[in-house]
Amino acid sequence: MANIVVVGAQWGDEGKGKIVDLLTESADVVARYQGGHNAGHTVMIKDRKFILHIIPSGILHRGKTCIIGNGVVIDPGAMIEEIEGLRGRKIRVGRNLSVSGRAHVIMPYHALLDGRHEQAKGSKRIGTTGRGIGPAYVDKMSRSGIRMIDMLDGKGFRAKLRTNLADINALLERRHRIGRVGMERIYSEYMKHAEYLSPFITDTVVLTNRLMERGSNMLFEGAQGTLLDIDHGTYPYVTSSNPSAGGVCAGLGISPLKIDGILGIVKAYSTRVGGGPFPTEMKGRLGRYLRSKGGEYGATTGRARRCGWLDMVSLRHTAMINGFTGIALTKLDVLDELDRIRVCVAYRYRNPAGSGRGRARTLAEFPQQADVLAACEPVYEELDGWQRNTKGVTRLRDLPRQARAYIDYIGESLNVKIDIVSTGEKRDEVVIVENPFSSGGK
């Protein structure tokens, strides 16, 4: 048995959905530990595309147990829509899916507040999806949140909703100058959601630990990437939870001693969605080329992703935080036509104010402050491109020499072995150097 964590090593959108789908073949259980339905995992099975927002990618495989942990925030209506969408495509969703009763619920007023807060930031907007994830986590931390288990007690749910709406409506009227949110409509809607979802709601902490004790192969997945981690990312341009490997233990209720391996998902170049600093961003023709060739549009919102060269400074940062035992390199084929490939190895920072103004210095470590990162210029090394088609290649030795050199460069720079190389969007377009489950995660 082995318990493997899959972690995004950049700003999300690294292709975690495909890698989770691939590794699910070796897993018995796939468990989601954080985030909400603001993320989208895209999986291609033959010519069928599936975009999953809240349900683990393992649901596409028969005989697998899927778990949504307590660290996730859930919009019940969105979850029901996703379940019905899967069932409409002949995907079984029933006893194979369990949802934590401790998971917090996204309420309609959370999405309303999300939009208002983002609008009030003006040019400082973070670029949230506006789906209420941040305000739901705020309520969780302020101990006024409503949990999935609360919806199963109609009387208790009504009392908590009434208390929350007294504060929410005062805020909406006095600060945002908009009308009150009615309680009865929300109560009626969420009681219907509770009736639909009640068979899925359980104590997933007990379930997860029992399955591990029985020797099940466990695969833990999150949303977003480490550079969007609330503690370790480009704050405040981050998500509201911990996508890094440390979030697994709190988000599922398991001991860190139970984790056997941590697979970092690294895109062969860099992308990010929304606001925030991005040192290697390419705003010209080449950036547009990568966006078009890589299909770099958000699976959840359709927003165009910002594209740039691979950033080893940020990757060293995320490798250190997570302790990657292996790497899955994705979208290698997107670089096929380039004659030269640049990799950022350091930052050059010029302090815009204060002592030393105007004097640049080189930074080898990822800055703690977003404004410092925004003032950094990348220091590049150049590698040869391969200018040959790699799409669909399934053996490492069949890749061009320069492509193998690029893969080796990444692994050696991070001192982490490359386990998987994705050469296309389809499930079978992949080079498996070593399956993390076969090696016990090590």
Nearest to 69 by CA among 36, 29, 30, 100: 100
Residues with Cβ within 8 Å of residue 337, at least 6 apart in sequence: 293, 385, 387
- The whole-angstrom separation of Cα 294 and Cα 286 is 12
Active site residues: 13, 41
Nearest to 270 by CA among 100, 50, 20, 15: 15
Half-sphere exposure of 83 (CA within 13 A, CB side): 19
- Please give the C-alpha separations between residue 308 and each of 10, 39, 337, 400, in angstroms, as whole numbers: 12, 21, 16, 23
Element (H, E) at 319: helix 312-322
Nearest to 305 by CA among 317, 293, 316, 313: 293
**How many CB atoms lie under 10 A from the CB of residue 199?**
12
Find residue 307's DSSP bridge partners.
271
- The whole-angstrom separation of Cα 429 and Cα 45 is 11
- The whole-angstrom separation of Cα 271 and Cα 290 is 10
CA angle 17, 308, 18 (to 5 degrees): 10
Phi, psi of 217, deg, nearest 5: -75, 120
- The whole-angstrom separation of Cα 56 and Cα 62 is 13
Sheet of strand 29-32: strand arrangement:
201-202, 97-100, 65-68, 29-32, 218-221, 3-8, 261-267, 326-330, 418-422, 430-432
- The whole-angstrom separation of Cα 436 and Cα 3 is 9
Secondary structure E strands in 338-408: 340-350, 360-363, 376-384
CA torsion through residues 395, 422, 59, 7, sign? positive
Angle between helices 154-174 and 183-197 (to 10 degrees): 140
